[in-house]
Amino acid sequence: MIAELGHFALTLALVLSLVQAVVPLLGAQRGRAAWMQVGRQAAWSLLGLCTIALLALIHAYALSDFSVRNVAENSHTMKPLLYKITGTWGNHEGSMLLWIWMLGLWGVLVAQATKLLPAAFQARVIAVQGMIAAGFLMFLLFTSNPFLRLDPAPAEGLGLNPVLQDLALALHPPLLYMGYVGFSVAFCFAIAALLEKKIDRRWATILRPWVLAAWAFLTGGIALGSIWAYYELGWGGFWFWDPVENAALMPWLAGTALLHSVAVLEKRDTLKNWTIFLAILTFSLSLLGTFLVRSGVLTSVHAFAVDPARGVFILVLLALATGGALFLYALRAPYIRGAKPFTPFSRETVLLLNNIFLFSAMATVFMGTLYPLFMSALQLGAVSVGTPYYMATLAPMLAPFALLMGAAPAIVWRAGNPHVTMRRLMLPALVTLALCLFLVLFAVPQKPLLWLALFAGGWILVTLGQDLARKTGGFKSFRYLPLSYYGMQLAHAGFALVIVGAATATQMTTEKILVMQTGDRISVAGYDIRLDGQHTGTGWNYNVDRVAFDIMPQDGGRAFRMMPEKRWYPVAARMTSEAALHLAGLDILYIVLGDNDGNSRNRWVVRIYHHPLIGFLFLGAGMIALGGLVSLGTRRARKPAEGVV
Amino acid sequence: MMKYILPAFLLTFLAIVTPAAAVLPDEIMDNPVLEQRARAISRQLRCLVCQGEDIDESAAGLARDLRLLVRERLLAGDSDAEVLAFIQARYGDYVLMKPPVKPATYLLWLTPLLTLLAGLALLLRRLRFKPAEGG
Amino acid sequence: MKRHMFALLPLVLFIVLVALFAAPLLRGTDPSKIESAMIGKPAPDFVLPGVLEHERPFEHADLLQQDFALVNFFASWCVPCQAEQPVLTRLAAEEGIVIYGINYKDNRADAVRWLEKHGNPFTATGYDNAGRVSIDWGVYGVPETYLVNRAGMILYRHVGPLTWHDYVTAIKPLLKRNGP
């Protein structure tokens, strides 16, 4: 019954989304307030219907209703309730429904922002949102219906993958989708602006918070995925350049460029073409990501249901949305004018240069991800693109990018003075160089990539500190700076930490692989490690071998215990290895069990890793996301738009 | 009906019993310099069974065989490039994590430079125009 | 007008992109299937002991004894291999094709039992316990089947269980084209 209710809600939602797509658009064109009002009402109703559908599916999962095919394929009675519920979006159909629900949510947020957006503009944005929702609802209903029934209903479900029973992994899609889908708002803003032939500072002011919010969510989603990979995959890797990871990185890079471009447009009324283009590009990359994950054109550990028919449908959606937007852009290009000029040595130039770097990085990731596909399409043979390619192409960009990032606050808008800038940056340059020299000579190994990262991160942090000192009168008064400034510095500092943490964690890792049994000792990275014993036990739906390690830091700190596990899930017939992690300051000591050595149940292959300063990586990622959120609070963003009644 | 692959961040690990980096103690060579080279080379080779991973991290049987083969070739005196070429001759370009530079991949390798140059060209064009042009 | 042209560039690139996506989608290619790097190259030199007790060793020279030969890589632990065994048997019987089998990383006793159970169409078999010879062929899983001509050159590789349809569409035409 409930599943049918959900199904019905989705069908109604489709009808409503079509209304939402058409009526407010006509209303904006003809100046009919009532019709524009329909748009807002439709947005609310759409969210309501999608909520009913989503809750209906969650309900089916929570109760393990295996008469619903989606539940039977992806769930199991022996899953803990929490993971039954989060399993709702751990599959293609359910995650697509979540995607659409978020589209509804963002639509309502736009509908509610009546005071901030001029009525006609708002109506147009809502209309385009409706079009996107309609497309995806059709996709869901026609190719990926989560409410299909199974008759007779099986007694048990098929979905008991232990790897999915993890909280971080469960939260990762919602955060990610909030980001992906959030950029649809920027996309719709761009279309509405093109329709109205009006791109100006006011447009940028109202757009900015939407971009910030989506970007912050996307950052959080990517960070969470990376954290999960780190502790679950068993050897400390956190990024693999897998196609689906890249599918999230591309909109993030474009979104970061968009964020900065909007900031310039708002401040200086310039970079209009570029901002519109980026707004279209970012959401298009979100759509591309959806396509890549669900169409089966690329091999990935991460891919959802592989069904070419679905792939074709999404490709059509992508073609219509992006193709339509780009066509409109080409059509209205002559109307984008009135941008203020700036001299070669100005902050606009610096920001545009860094935008170009971000775009270039995005294009590189794009090519790396899709080149095997292109070659196969043109039957030119087969290559694969892995980490070495990305390191070779992206690492060189880091130094100029970081240099510009650090130098930007020292260059004024419109027409900067090179002498002033040079003088200002002299001190930070010396400090950074001295710092790096010290580290290189005394503290870190001979690894160029590491030095590059330390230099880049150091430069960003030092210049950041200098700028903060200047603007707060020597760290005295913090009250008169807008929140957006603090948000920006927080995010930039976070970025520096991410670079440094990623570099130290990979370039200064200590690894030890050996066979151990009770009583064996080994010394790794300043820790004395002894296998103390093991015992068996049971968990919720698994049997476990726990091996206890006693660790004594050689510098005299407190001893501690680490207990990695080997779990056997009998129903799923799967074995997993749960690593033990110990955080010491910003370093992590990481122990993971391999198989038993030979036939002895007391001898284990043990892998021990020490990842120095990896805390910086995750802390930095969090700071970036937080910086975005802090910037949202800035008062300027909440001023009502002019011309709004 | 089960043509739907279960969504898993670690789909490959369904095929592997234990998700963990995969070099086993009995593979580790006595000579640490050679072992370092072996590890570095392994990270350049894609596991063809678990295609998202390199043979250093894959627990697949083929990965282990290839890891042992790499070490064998190093002991036989091959250079890093020769070891990679040996495996490439049997498995094709696909097995290399770093795509070889050949006419078919020029566009791939030139993408960063080309996009940077294109961007710079647009920037210069922008800086030369008088105001009233769109940014 | 010039503005329009310039601004059309992203759209044009995008259309090209969509076309490149559509091609493999509509073709239905499986991206995880890799083409063999050994096509057009000579089969590697090898000598393997036979799987069955009475068999003499199976070696490279055997491949040169007939116009065409299929070399099939199989294992008793390989489930899809069971499905293709009837096809191979039929190929050997009806089409008169010489088929050699290389047993990949298996237990000899298990392999013998498996052949007894599922049929043995192989003119000769090789026991590749270590999998090293298979690596020389570029094998990355089982089952795989290679077509070799009298000159010892590898003409074609099929990944996965061989069906009759695969034989008719992919292998048989090669037999005619490269025929004597």
Q: Determine, yes or no, domain membership for A265.
A: no
Does the beta carbon of C17 lie under 8 angstroms from any beta carbon of chain B? no
DSSP H helical ranges for A472-573:
483-507
* Mean pLDDT value of segment A513-532: 94
Do A526 and A551 share a domain, yes or no?
A: yes
Q: Please give the domain boundaries of chain C with CATH numbers for all domains.
A: 47-177 (3.40.30.10)
Question: Residue A537: which H helix or E strand, with range?
Answer: strand A527-538
Residues A145 and A47 in one domain: yes
One domain for residues A579 and A455: no
Whether the CB-CB separation of A144 and A96 falls below 8 Å is answered with: yes
Instruction: Report the Cα B115 to chain-centroid distance in Å.
Output: 23
Cis amide prior to A152 (ω within 30 degrees):
yes
**Does pLDDT of A30 surpass 70?**
yes
The nearest CA of chain A is from the CA of C166 a distance in Å of 20
Domain C-terminal end among A480, A499, A518 = A499
- Chain B contact residues (CB < 8 Å to C): 48-49, 51, 61-62, 65-66, 69, 88-94
Looking at this predicted complex, what is its ipTM?
0.89
Do residue A444 and residue A464 come from a single domain?
Answer: yes
Q: Which chains touch B (3 or more CB pairs under 8 A)?
A: A, C
Residues in Cβ contact with A124 at an 8 Å cutoff, skipping those fewer than 6 apart: A24, A25, A28, A188, A191, A192, A195, A196
Same domain assignment for residues A426 and A568: no
Side chain identity, residue A448: P
The residue among A479, A499, A519 that closes a domain is A499
Q: How confident is the model at residue A306 (pLDDT cuts 50, 70, 90)?
A: low
pLDDT of residue C85: 94
Contact A322 C14 (CB under 8 A): yes
CA distance C166 to chain B (A): 21
Q: A244-267 b/e with 16+ CB inside 10 Å = b? A: bbbbbbbbbbbbbbbbbbbbbbbb
Question: Residue A359's pLDDT is what?
Answer: 97
Is pLDDT at B13 greater than 80 in this prediction?
A: no
Res. B8 pLDDT band, cuts 50 70 90: very low
Strand ranges inside chain B, DSSP E = none
Cβ-Cβ contacts under 8 Å, B46 against chain A: 384, 386
Does residue A149 share a domain with residue A4?
A: yes
The pLDDT profile of chain C, 180 residues, written as one tens digit per residue, is: 666 778 899 999 999 999 999 988 888 777 778 889 999 999 999 999 999 988 899 999 999 999 999 999 999 999 999 999 999 999 999 998 999 999 999 999 999 999 999 999 999 999 999 999 999 999 999 999 999 999 999 999 999 999 999 999 999 999 876 555
Please check whether residue A397 lies inside any domain of the structure: yes
Query: Phi/psi at B92 (nearest 5 deg)?
Result: 85, 175
The pLDDT-based confidence of B129 (bands split at 50, 70, 90) is low
**A488 and A520 fall within a common domain:** no
The reply to whether C2 touches chain A by the CB within 8 Å rule is no
| Number of structural domains in chain A | 3
Residue A597: domain span: 510-611
| A-C contacts at Cβ under 8 angstroms | 68
Contact call for residues A242 and A153 (beta carbons, < 8 A): no
Q: Which residue of A has its CA nearest to B57?
A: A235
Nearest to A364 among B17, B111, B134 (CB): B111
**Burial B53-90, CB ≥16 within 10 A → b, else e:** bbbbbbbbebbbbbbbbbbebbeeebeeeebbebbbeb
**If you average pLDDT over residues A90-109, what whole number do you get?**
95
Q: Tell how strand C98-104 and strand C47-48 pair up.
A: unpaired
Q: Write the pLDDT tens digit of every residue in A314-330.
A: 999 999 999 999 999 99
Task: Say if strands C68-74 and C98-104 run parallel, antiparallel, or are unpaired.
Answer: parallel
Q: What residues of chain C lie within 8 A of the CB of A330, using their CB?
A: 4, 7-8, 10-11
* Reported confidence tier of residue B14, pLDDT bands at 50, 70, 90: very low
Local confidence band at B21 (pLDDT 50, 70, 90 cut-offs) = low
Q: Which of A130, A165, A200 is the last residue of a domain?
A: A165
For residue range A562-614, what is the model confidence (pLDDT) as tens digits? Answer: 999 999 988 888 888 999 999 999 999 999 999 888 788 889 999 999 999 99
Measured between alpha carbons, how far is residue A545 from residues A533, A589, B15, B51 in Å?
Answer: 11, 20, 21, 30
Q: Do B61 and C131 touch (CB under 8 A)?
A: yes
Residues A38 and A141 grouped into a single domain: yes
| Best to test chain A binding among B3, B5, B10, B42 (most A CBs inside 10 Å) | B10
What is residue A305's predicted lDDT score, i.e. its pLDDT?
57
DSSP structural state of residue A640: P
Tokens of A489: 């510095």
**Whole-number percent of chain A with pLDDT over 70:** 97
User: B92-111, pLDDT tens digit by residue?
Assistant: 999 999 999 999 999 999 99
- How far, in Å, are A302, A383, B110, C19 from residue B106 at the CA level? 28, 12, 6, 21
User: Within its chain, how far is the Cα of C95 from the centroid?
Assistant: 18
**How far away is chain B from the Cα of A484, in angstroms, using its nearest Cα?**
24
Least confident range from A165-169, A505-509, B46-50, C99-103: namely A165-169
Asked which of A395-404, A518-527, B5-14, C169-178 is least confident by mean pLDDT, the reply is B5-14
pLDDT > 60? residue B1: no
Task: Looking at the structure, tell me whether residues A30 and A138 fall in a common domain.
Answer: yes
Q: Please check whether residues A485 and A535 belong to one and the same domain.
A: no
Per-residue model confidence (pLDDT) at position A479: 83
Cross-chain CB nearest to B92 (options C37, C137, C141) = C37
Which among B7, B10, B127 is the nearest to A92, CB-wise? B7
pLDDT tens track for A247-273: 999 999 999 999 999 999 999 998 999
pLDDT category at B75 given cuts 50, 70, 90 is very high
What is d(CA A286, CA A215) in angstroms, rounded to the nearest whole number? 12
**Cβ neighbours of residue A66 under 8 Å, at least 6 residues apart?**
A72, A75, A150, A153, A154, A155, A156, A157
By C-alpha distance, which of A322, A315, A320, A206 is closest to A254? A322
At residue B7, the pLDDT reads 33
Instruction: Output the average pLDDT for chain A.
Output: 91
The sign one gets for the Cα dihedral A303, A309, A315, A317 is: negative
Task: Give yes or no: residues A493 and A521 share one domain.
Answer: no
The answer to whether residue C47 neighbours chain B at the CB level (below 8 Å) is no
Positive or negative CA dihedral for B128, B130, B135, C5?
Answer: negative
- Residue B20: the pLDDT is 40
Instruction: Please indicate, yes or no, whether residues A393 and A449 belong to a single structural domain of this protein.
Output: yes
B42 inside 8 A of chain A by CB: no
Write down the pLDDT at residue B133: 46
Q: Which chain A residues contact residue C34 at CB under 8 A? A: 382
Q: Which two tokens stand for residue A174?
A: 């919602």
Q: Kindly report the nearest CA distance between residue C122 and chain A, in angstroms.
A: 32
In a domain, A304, yes or no: no
Identity of the residue in B4, B95, B97 whose CB atom sits nearest the CB atom of A73? B4
Residue A158 has pLDDT above 90, yes or no: no
Average pLDDT, integer, range A75-98: 91
